[in-house]
Structure 1
Amino acid sequence: MQRAEDGRDGAARPAVAAEELSALLTRLARRHGVPGAQLALRQGDEETVVQTGVTRQGGAEPMTAASPVPIGSITKLATATVVLALVADDDLDLDEPAGEVLGVAGLAGELTVRRLLSHTSGLPSDPVDVAGSCLREVRDARAVCPAGTAFSYSNLGYALVGSLIEAVTGMTWREAVEAILLRPLDLEPVYVADDRAVPGHARATGPAGARPVEQFLPPMLEPAGALALSAGALAELGRVHLGKPGLLDVVTAADMHRPVEGAEPFGLADGWGLGVAHFGAGDETWLGHDGNADGTSCFLRIDQAGACVVALTSNSVAGSDLWHDLVGELDTLGISLPVRATRSAGARRVPLPGGDFGTYRNGAVEYTIRPDETGAALDVDGEVFPELERYDDATFTVRDPATGRATPCGRFRGEPGAATAVDVGGRIARRH
């Protein structure tokens, strides 16, 4: 591999040999009990793809460079890219209300295409009835914040985006994403329910290792999480946002990538554009998205200044731990990915005020903070995370039952002891 120029200062980023990346990925997959993983690294015009392990724990089928892994929410980046292609063709206007695009009444005028793409629509995370009507769910949804005022991650919002794509193109969401994005990139479309898709795995809990889990995604939420792609295919999607092969014009791409004012995705990233996350700040900003399907963890990072793309796919929830270690290892190889701070430097533990106990709601999901024998716990629809610790910057951690580690979880909104909401996983839950 040739040395790739780093566009920030003209210095050459060191090339990384495939053998070195392969050994690194294999070592980290074994460390974290991940049955199979793929890693793609594109530097300039050079690409290296390596893989390790098997598609299914206990099986004989090896993970290959072409194995399609369910990429979860990275599908939203593909969906948003299709929308921006429609905007470039004057088929959609980013500031047009969704109700006007669909020609239906009953949708708030504040629900614009731009706000849906940037998770600033105020819609809850998920529909109450996944088998029902998307429009009915949106009409009946209780907003978690006024539209345009804050970031709150919404799969329901992207279900509505899928409806907009279908209304404008006259195609299903699948047909549109294939015709407008995947086929021009010469990528074979695979979806989570397809037999070809790699299964996910729960964490290893015994001698048998990681346990395969079934993939399930309601049709309504396909625009939010249905695609299965290899790491190499993800890197190809990343190339679109480097200006290659020219699917988005410069002006449209700049609008998509520009951080949206007020979109503060606490716990997920450092900023958000139209369907794309921002990691880092200033000249060190990388674009990208994370994705978790049932038992898979995938990551995409795009450095526009350095013309570099990094993509990881893994068939285990433990892939998130693999990614954390991989970021550190890549830094020693000259590829420095931003590390997101989870709380303010020097933040100190403080007692949890009694007034912050209570139930907070985002759509149908309840987050209950209650006393327990560890002091305090977070109960998410019956799943308990103990040892909740509050910090003086309003953030809090819990103990992850799967790993036993204290894990950054969220933050309180409002004054100490009088919280009006909590942010958990980039989602606002209002006091109920």
Structure 2
Amino acid sequence: MTESAEFPMELPAHGEVAGLLDTLAREYLAPGVQFAVYERGVISSFEYGEETYGSGRPVTADTVFPWGSVTKSATALLLAQLVSDGDLELDEPVGPLLPELAGSPDSPLYTATPRRLLSHTAGLPDMPPVEDDLALRDCVAASAGAPAVCEPGKHFSYANLGYVLAGRILESVTGVTWWEAVRDFVLTPLGVEPGFLGAAAPGPVAGQHAVHLPTGSVQQVDEPGLPKALVPAGALMSSATGLLRYAAVHLAPGGSTVLEPGLLAELRTPVPGSAAFGLADGWGLGLAVHTDGAGRRWLGHDGNTGGASCALRFDPGRGIGVALMTNATSGRQMGHAFFDALAAKGFDVGRAEAPDLGRPLSGSALDAAAAEVCGEYRSGTDLLTVRRAGHGELLMDRGGLRPARLELHQGLEFRLKSESVEAGHGSDESKDLYCFVRDSRTGQVGGMYMSGGRLQVREGIGLLG
């Protein structure tokens, strides 16, 4: 898996791409879509649909969409600048930099290193239960007692808390806010006009929509501004072309004015223990690592909000990148289908492909596997229970939701079928693939990956190794 140096891989004809966007946006009920392609300094863009469902205002190349978690790649870039300046070491604990952690030297936040924070391998929970809308410093202080979910470096576990901590480190070291730093040290130098959720935007802003595919429902949602502490994890906005101008830090020679090539390469290098089931082949610093059908490495990140989606992929060796924005919760599924369709036409941008699992387990094989996986699993305040139903099926209880049928396969991968036992209602999640995780010390099932690569740890196991 290498960053490729040879180039040609040709985008299908303009009309084919536009037709794909039209077809898939209609299928996945996405009111509006942007797609942009960067090829060696030239950006081409495609647009479909409306800014807001039923508004009649068309999406243009200037329409602004949320980045969601793609923002994390910019926060990682900012911390790499601190490394470049000698203010930070990638493999030294961050606690000494933060006065609010001085009394918590054993906290997993204190002992975390920037490399592990930015690659989601620090073993942190996604977010501990803290008061709403705390400032970065207060959120870090309130989170100091949060227990780790696994031993650092042993497993990938997607954690917004790691980027709260990264944003706080930035503020503590530089004396400026995350907003000011990302504007002045990253976006403006790269020619991207800053846009932030809940603040002024550099163009017309796409509305956001909740889509439920089984019923065909499309509802506009009011997306509130992010809590203060989460801005380093998800606050940026731009058009798809703006996102690719940002990604040019990795694609164009001028990117070295923002960060030297050696540290840019560090951002793109997969960290040991960062294999992210169902998301990516691995994780660098703020960047997911994907492999295309020819074994070439692509970097990027996906982002989702309460009513929009964003996907970024780029190959530095060939100087090519793509960005897809939608204003619908179904945009993530649409994006998978769109990238699959492009790959079938010879333009493969790298994506997490689901393995061929074969038939689900049944009979004695299911009995044996069920004995291993049944139990309670926790992440923060969320508690999931896997149990055997009276008729032999595996079910998952998820708080106030209907029980989901768990379709288990040979390698302990599973899908959820969210039709209730009492009433058959389909779900948008039935194609998503999850898995149970074995503890590296005992070989016993000690956790599971659910949505977004977040590790849920089995009750009673302690720290997953």
User: What TM-score do you get using the length of structure 2 for normalisation?
Assistant: 0.85
For 2:239, the equivalent position in structure 1 comes to 230
Name the residue aligned to 1:421: 447
With over 3 angstroms needed to count, the CA separation of the structure-2 counterparts of 1:134 and 1:61, relative to structure 1, is same
User: Does structure 1 conserve the Cα–Cα contact (< 8 Å) formed by 2:191 and 2:245?
Assistant: no
How many angstroms does 1:299 deviate by?
0.6
Structure 1 residue matching 2:251: 3-state secondary structure: coil
Question: Residue 196 of structure 2 aligns with which residue?
Answer: 191
Within a 5 Å distance, the mapping from 1:92-241 to structure 2 comes to 92-103=88-99, 104-105=101-102, 106-107=104-105, 108=107, 109-129=110-130, 130-132=132-134, 133-194=138-199, 196=201, 197-204=205-212, 209-216=217-224, 217-241=226-250
2:268 is equivalent to residue 257 of structure 1: yes
Q: Tell me: CA distance 1:207–1:269, structure 2 relative to 1, closer, same or farther (3 Å).
A: closer
Aligned positions of 1:301-380 closer than 5 A: 301-343=313-355, 349=361, 350-351=365-366, 352-372=369-389, 375-380=393-398
Q: Which residue is 1:26 aligned to? A: 22
Contact 2:396 2:406 in 1 (8 A): yes
| Distance of 2:265 and 2:400 partners within structure 1 | 43
For residues 33-80 of structure 1, give each alpha carbon's deviation from its aligned partner in whole angstroms, at most 9, with x where no partner exists: 100010011122222111111111111222111111112111101111
Farther off after superposition, 198-207 or 350-359: 198-207
Residue identity opposite 1:92 in structure 2: L
Instruction: Pick which of 281-290 and 135-144 moved more.
Output: 281-290
1:377–1:384: 8 Å Cα contact kept in structure 2? Answer: no
Query: What is the DSSP-based 3-state SS (H/G/I as helix, E as strand, rest coil) of the residue aligned with 1:116?
Result: helix
**1:171-222, Cα deviation, whole Å (9 max, x unpaired):** 1111111011111122122222237542321115699851011213211111
Q: In the alignment, which residue of structure 1 is the partner of 2:289?
A: 278
Q: Secondary structure at the match of 1:202?
A: strand
**Alignment correspondent of 1:3:** none
**Closer, same or farther: CA 172–11 of 1 in aligned 2, 3 Å:** closer
Instruction: Give the C-alpha shift of residue 264 in structure 1.
Output: 1.6
Q: Which residue is equivalent to 1:242? A: 251
CA contact 2:192–2:246 (8 Å) conserved in 1: no
| Partner AA of 1:125 in structure 2 | D
* Paired residues of 2:40 and 2:251 also in contact (CA < 8 A): no
What is the CA distance between 1:229 and its match in structure 2?
1.8
Aligned counterpart, 2:278: 267
Give the Cα–Cα distance (whole angstroms) in 2 for the partners of residues 233 and 377 of structure 1: 44
What runs of 5+ residues in structure 2 fail to find an aligned partner?
Answer: 419-425, 460-465
- The 5-angstrom pairing of residues 375-414 of structure 1 reads 375-384=393-402, 386-399=404-417, 401-403=426-428, 405-414=430-439
Residues 1:121 and 1:417: Cα distance change in structure 2 (over 3 Å):
closer
Query: 1:405, CA displacement in angstroms?
Result: 3.5
1:339 shift after superposition: 3.7
Q: 1:335 to 1:394 in 2, by over 3 A?
A: same
Query: C-alpha separation between the residues in 1 aligned to 2:230 and 2:446?
Result: 29
Name the counterpart of 2:423: none
Which letter maps to 1:213? Answer: V
- CA separation of 1:14 and 1:344: change in aligned 2, threshold 3 A: closer
Amino acid of the structure 2 residue aligned with 1:365:
D
Offset at 1:126?
A: 1.4
The count of residues paired between Structure 1 and Structure 2 equals 426
Do the aligned residues in 1 keep the contact of 2:28 with 2:213 (CA within 8 Å)?
A: no
| Greater CA drift, 258-267 or 156-165 | 258-267
Residues 373, 436 of structure 2: 8 Å contact kept: no
CA shift in 2, pair 1:171/1:404, >3 Å: closer
Instruction: Report deviation, 1:22.
Output: 2.4
Equivalent in the alignment of 2:66: 70
Q: Which runs of 5+ in 1 are unaligned?
A: 1-6
Q: Which amino acid aligns with 1:366?
A: L
The 3-state SS of whatever aligns with 1:140 is coil
Question: Is this contact kept in 2: 1:13–1:335, CA < 8 A?
Answer: yes
Q: Give the counterpart letter for 1:192 in structure 2.
A: L
Contact 1:124 1:156 in 2 (8 A): yes
* CA RMSD between the two structures: 2.6
1:328 is displaced (CA, Å) by 2.2
Q: 1:173 to 1:347 in 2, by over 3 A?
A: farther
Distance in 1, Cα, partners of 2:7 & 2:194: 38
Change in CA separation of 1:302 and 1:263 when aligned onto 2, cut-off 3 Å: same
Q: Taking structure 1 as reference, are residues 172 and 381 closer, same or farther at Cα in structure 2, changes over 3 Å only?
A: farther
Report what 1:4 is aligned to. none
> Is the 8 Å Cα contact of residues 385 and 399 (structure 1) preserved in structure 2?
no
2:82 aligned to 86, 92, 98, which one? Answer: 86
Match of 1:309, SS state, is strand
Out of 398-407 and 256-265, give the one that drifted further. 398-407
